[in-house]
């Protein structure tokens, strides 16, 4: 019997897979978990784009919440984290 819990917590579920597998996992996540609660920690843009709500944490506290695309537009620190770009301090120095 396979586990199919009502609530699933996943910590960086795509950290040890290749890009093709990560994309497949992200594409199937919403359908596979429909009607149940899934909480995950991740910096994967592919996974975050599938989330209903993303909570951006800074020093263990929620700094902002929204969709992945909203946070990309409005939160420089979030954008730097998930795109692996320069952080806000670096952007301010320009």
Q: Are 55 and 62 in contact (CB under 8 A)?
A: yes
Residue 58 counted as domain residue: yes
Q: How many domains does the chain have?
A: 2
Q: How far apart are CA 77 and CA 54, in angstroms?
A: 14
**Contacts of residue 24, Cβ cutoff 8 Å, sequence gap at least 6:** none
For 21-66, the pLDDT digits (tens) are: 999 998 888 888 888 999 999 999 999 999 999 999 999 999 999 9
Query: Do residue 86 and residue 58 come from a single domain?
Result: yes
Please indicate, yes or no, whether residues 36 and 14 belong to a single structural domain of this protein.
Answer: yes
Q: DSSP 3-state assignment of 61?
A: strand
Residues 60 and 91 in one domain: yes
pLDDT tens profile 35-45: 899 999 999 99
- Give residue 38's domain range: 1-42
Burial class, 55, CB count within 10 angstroms (exposed 0-12 / middle 13-18 / buried 19+): middle
Note whether 38 and 7 are same-domain residues.
yes
Q: Which pTM was predicted?
A: 0.77
In a domain, 47, yes or no: no
Q: Same domain for 38 and 6?
A: yes
Q: Is 48 a domain residue?
A: no
Q: Is the pLDDT of residue 10 over 70?
A: yes
DSSP 86: -
């Amino acid at each position: 019997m396979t586990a199919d819990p009502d609530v699933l917590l996943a910590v960086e579920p795509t950290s040890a897979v290749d890009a093709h597998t990560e994309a497949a996992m992200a594409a199937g996540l919403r359908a596979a978990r429909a009607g149940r609660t899934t909480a995950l920690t991740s910096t994967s843009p592919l996974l975050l784009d599938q989330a209903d709500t993303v909570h951006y944490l800074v020093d263990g506290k929620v700094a902002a919440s929204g969709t992945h695309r909203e946070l990309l537009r409005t939160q420089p620190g979030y954008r730097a984290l998930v795109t692996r770009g320069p952080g806000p301090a670096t952007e301010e120095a320009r």
